[in-house]
Amino acid sequence: MAQAEIGLIGLGVMGSNLALNIAEKGNRIAVFNRTVARTKEFYEEAGDLKGQIVPCDTIEDFVAAIRPPRPIIIMIQAGAAVDQQMELLRPYLEKNDIMIDAGNANFRDTMRRFDALKDSGLTFIGMGVSGGEEGARHGPSIMVGGTEDSWKRVEKVLTSIAAKYKDEPCVAWLGENGAGHFVKTIHNGIEYADMQMIAEIYGILRDGLKMSASEISAVFGEWNKGRLESYLIEITEKVLAAKDPISGSPIVDMILDKAGQKGTGKWSAIEAQNMGVPATGIEAAVAARSISSFKTEREAAEKILGLPDVPALQVPDKAAFLKDLESALLAGKIGAYAQGFAVMSAASKEYGWNLPMPVIAKIWRAGCIIRSQFLDEITSAFTEAPDAANLIVTPAFASMVKETDGALRRVVSAAALHGLPVPALASALGYFDSYRRGRGTANVIQAQRDFFGAHGFDRVDGADSHHGPWGSGLNG
């Protein structure tokens, strides 16, 4: 029997779908699961794809079924379970075999695992896979981090299963060790910000303009035909139009306003802070999800504090205001992507990855949650200006920021004046206003620091800095 081209451990939903995708694209795959019953069940359910699948009951049989050097995808819960599976697998592997973590791993764990194997003859790939269950089955966006040789071993299989955008596969090798999982983490951080901004616009439409879910759905449907065309806008239209089968009410009105999170958004914010790169949209989105989880506290606070005593939102020209909301959402999206790419640029320098920004934008154009036509414009912007300090100073995006600035300002102002929370949209406005201002206000902060800590400061006239504290007072 011909050996498999690749192996996969972990036949949960994501693992099963990825294995079926690999088999469907003509690649022979060996599969193993901790419980033999699940392996047999998966194989029996594979239908016409059974001929491409080698089900294995033991680790020994599984490893023997794969063509050396053996690439083995580990698709199990991130964290300690991956380390345990690697230790169980390692005694059966040979020189140049490759263990591939395709879960939502913290990139620091990936770097640790990569380093732990580098002198063993084995190697490790950290592979970000975006697109959820549907993407895994029919074509995800794939972000690979590992040695170039290990990438070449799996390139054919991964290219075959990746999503395609105008026939271009949405997969790339991005650098060594943790590069792939870091990029996936930032992808998820941008996703958090994008989703939060959509929710804030929904809140203005629902609570400000008193529109029904079906009316708001129609608005998002129109926006999805224009510059905001994206997967997230598309599914927002659909979820707002969906009806609860029990009550017949809009299903969104039956869902508790508590959003879960798996941690990748938080990791994005933490790493941005570690590198001193502002990612305020991601931070605001993570905080908003955290606040959403305090449902009981929020309800109690409303009884004690009440809602803001402000006038109801009234707009003389509803069509014009809807246009402002559309432009404000575009502006917020620009801010979130600009911040995400800035964080990746800093990490690329920090870890020596040389991350290819145009390529990252390209492989996000299909298969992943944040796919949108917008990414074509980012690809072009970074192709034309690969060394740009920030996305928003590239010619195309500078023009878009200028075009949407007024709308974002009006929407954030209206929301604040009428007690409608828009933390992520407001963070975008603050980011733009801070980034574009040549002379800010941090001079007074630095003066304060110098006064109580003798830090010294950079003078605007270039003279030698004066060290504090300044005697016993500011005029000392």
Given a contact cutoff of 8 angstroms between Cβ atoms, the answer to whether 410 and 324 are in contact is: yes
Size (the chain), residues: 476
**24 assigned to active site:** no
**Residue among 46, 97, 109 nearest 69 (CA):** 97
Given a contact cutoff of 8 angstroms between Cβ atoms, the answer to whether 297 and 311 are in contact is: no
β-sheet bridge partners, residue 130? 141
Between the alpha carbon of residue 417 and those of residues 312, 409, 413, 431, the distances in Å are 9, 12, 6, 20
Given a contact cutoff of 8 angstroms between Cβ atoms, the answer to whether 243 and 251 are in contact is: yes
Give the pLDDT confidence score for residue 118 in this predicted structure: 87
71-83: string of b/e by CB count within 10 Å (b at 16+)? bbbbbbebeeebe
Given a contact cutoff of 8 angstroms between Cβ atoms, the answer to whether 415 and 323 are in contact is: no
**184 assigned to active site:** yes
Give the pLDDT confidence score for residue 466 in this predicted structure: 56
Catalytic residue among 94, 95, 156, 184: 184
Give the pLDDT confidence score for residue 468 in this predicted structure: 55
* pLDDT in 10s for each residue of the chain, 476 residues: 689 999 999 999 999 999 999 999 999 999 999 999 999 999 999 999 999 999 999 999 999 999 999 999 999 988 899 999 999 999 999 999 999 999 989 999 999 999 999 889 999 999 999 999 999 999 999 999 999 999 999 999 999 999 999 999 999 999 999 999 999 999 999 999 999 999 999 999 999 999 999 999 999 999 999 999 999 999 999 999 999 999 999 999 999 998 877 778 899 999 999 999 999 999 999 999 999 999 999 999 999 999 999 988 999 999 999 999 999 999 999 999 999 999 999 999 999 999 999 999 999 999 998 988 889 999 999 999 988 999 999 999 999 999 999 999 999 999 999 999 999 999 999 999 999 999 999 989 888 887 776 566 676 666 666 555 554 444 44
Q: What are phi and psi of 141, to 5 degrees?
A: -90, 130
157-180: string of b/e by CB count within 10 Å (b at 16+)? bbebbbbebeeebbbbbbbbbbbb
**Residue among 116, 108, 114 nearest 182 (CA):** 108
Catalytic residue among 5, 176, 191, 283: 191
DSSP string, 428-465: HHHHHHHHT-SS-SHHHHHHHHHHHH------TT-PPP
The whole-angstrom separation of Cα 73 and Cα 99 is 6
**Residue among 208, 206, 239, 245 nearest 221 (CA):** 239
Return all residues near 331 (Cβ < 8 A) that are at least 6 apart. Answer: 400, 401, 404, 405, 407, 408, 428, 429, 432
Return all residues near 139 (Cβ < 8 A) that are at least 6 apart. Answer: 21, 131, 161, 162, 163, 164, 170, 366, 367
Amino acid at position 191, single letter: E
pTM: 0.92
Given a contact cutoff of 8 angstroms between Cβ atoms, the answer to whether 369 and 232 are in contact is: yes
Give the pLDDT confidence score for residue 453 in this predicted structure: 65
Q: By CB neighbour count within 10 A (0-12 exposed, 13-18 middle, 19+ buried), where does 446 fall?
A: middle
Give the pLDDT confidence score for residue 326 in this predicted structure: 98
